[in-house]
Amino acid sequence: MSQSTYARLTQELESIDQEGLYKRERLITSPQSGSIMVEIAGKETAVINLCANNYLGLADHPDIVASAQKAMDQYGYGMASVRFICGTLDYHRQLEEEIAEFTGFDDAILYAACFDANGGVFEPLLNAEDAIVSDSLNHASIIDGIRLCKAKRYRFANNDMADLEAKLKEAKANNARTIVIATDGVFSMDGYIANVPELRRLADEYDALLMMDDCHSTGILGPEGKGTAAHFGLQVDILTSTLGKSLGGAAGGFVAASQPVIDMLRQRSRPYLFSNALPPAILGGASAAIKLCREGDDLREKLSQNAQHFRQGMEQAGFHLLPGEHPIIPIMLGEGQLAQDMANRLYELGVYVTGFFYPVVPMGQARIRTQMSAALTTEQLDKAIAAFTQAGKELGVI
């Protein structure tokens, strides 16, 4: 029995590889930054890093490391408990209050990851009488969270507000009790920003709650990096985000919302109730990261300049980019194999990027998703553009 299972898995893995879709992880031997050390052919080599979510360049910031170490000195290494049994430190509550204040909500609740926050946010709030209207390009964790919830599901085409309104009408016609609109703040594969003014207007018109996942906006958009809604001077009703990207890049996620929502999640949210409390080092690091983020207008300015510079250079070189201003800059290539070959060649040329292909993006829309960081210098970006140009010519892309 088990032998036939293993044989089937081996065969499936082989076919993934044959289609050029096999993901191979590269080993990094330094802290995360604009330039990182990797091992190529047994030799430690520096490569320019264009694919971390290290937008503000805080992943190796000494203040964050020091704050994490200080928290460990005071509280030790681990909590060995979920929050409600015996795992809540005063520091957990302090960080939740800092997040609530930062994001402009009554309260916040921490999770081990934003994947868990999205996985656990819907089910406690909604049942079969309710409806979730979800953007078709939402992150996998939102899709999973919706699957785990009994609410009726509606899907609207990415950022298509007319389609959203049609689905809201449908939900109303089906007598939905509570309606939640679920969307990413910035769509991670394209770098497109959600149309918050229209989302807010429709949510209000149809008496729906607006839930937004701001993983790729927190720290980047809006004053002090407060996120997508703040970028438009607006507010959503339920916000989820991560501590694993701009805010130091370690791990952890949160939901920020009105008090009854957070209180209900603390009572009923399964990834919160049945998974360990975040460790002290993460609390210390995240707290320092939020402070640096809020004071980090210079970092956001550098990030934006880098995005402009790279975009311009790549367009001049003849690459097809998706339009936008976000530090996510996708280089469109088409087929998965080409995205892989291009990424491999760039790696040899000293630029670390990753090919994205089906099922992460739609079939035929394979790409290299580059991501800018405040830790990147103009010189590094110019080297990267030159390497892209060389690899692009070799592979017939430009």
**Structure-token pair, residue 83:** 């929050």
Using CB under 6 A as the binding rule, whether residue 188 contacts ligand PLP is answered as yes
Using CB under 6 A as the binding rule, whether residue 114 contacts ligand PLP is answered as yes
For residue 231, CA distances in Å to 31, 51, 148, 246 come to: 31, 24, 31, 16
Determine how many CB atoms are found less than 10 A away from the CB of residue 10: 10
Using CB under 6 A as the binding rule, whether residue 141 contacts ligand PLP is answered as yes
From 139, 216, 226, 231, active-site residue: 216
Q: Are 308 and 300 spatial neighbours (Cβ–Cβ below 8 Å)?
A: no
Residues 6+ apart with CB under 8 A from 309: 378, 381
From 61, 226, 231, 245, active-site residue: 245
Closer of 242 and 306 to ligand PLP (Cβ): 242
- The window from 66-74, 89-97, 208-216, 322-330 that contacts ligand PLP (CB under 6 A) reads 208-216
Using CB under 6 A as the binding rule, whether residue 369 contacts ligand PLP is answered as no
- The window from 31-39, 160-168, 213-221, 384-392 that contacts ligand PLP (CB under 6 A) reads 213-221
- The window from 144-152, 210-218, 280-288, 337-345 that contacts ligand PLP (CB under 6 A) reads 210-218
DSSP classification of residue 321: B
CA distance 385 to 398: 13
- The helix (H) or strand (E) run that includes residue 393 is helix 378-394
188 labelled catalytic: yes
- Going by their DSSP bridges, the two strands 43-49 and 107-111 should be labelled as unpaired
Shortest distance in whole angstroms from residue 364 CB to ligand PLP: 23
Using CB under 6 A as the binding rule, whether residue 113 contacts ligand PLP is answered as yes
Considering only 107, 184, 237, 341, the residue that binds ligand PLP (CB under 6 A) is 184
141 labelled catalytic: no
309 labelled catalytic: no
Shortest distance in whole angstroms from residue 333 CB to ligand PLP: 21
Considering only 83, 139, 167, 302, the residue that binds ligand PLP (CB under 6 A) is 139
Closer of 242 and 389 to ligand PLP (Cβ): 242
Using CB under 6 A as the binding rule, whether residue 145 contacts ligand PLP is answered as no
Using CB under 6 A as the binding rule, whether residue 115 contacts ligand PLP is answered as yes
User: DSSP secondary structure string, 260-282?
Assistant: HHHHHHHHH-HHHHTSBPPPHHH
Considering only 253, 284, 285, 327, the residue that binds ligand PLP (CB under 6 A) is 253
Strand partners, 133: 154, 181
CA distance 35 to 52: 11
For residue 108, CA distances in Å to 79, 121, 126, 205 come to: 20, 12, 19, 26
For residue 257, CA distances in Å to 74, 104, 240 come to: 30, 9, 9
Using CB under 6 A as the binding rule, whether residue 326 contacts ligand PLP is answered as no
**Structure-token pair, residue 266:** 């603390």
Using CB under 6 A as the binding rule, whether residue 134 contacts ligand PLP is answered as no
Which residues contribute to the site for ligand PLP (CB under 6 A)? 113-115, 118, 139, 141, 184, 188, 213, 215-216, 242, 244, 253
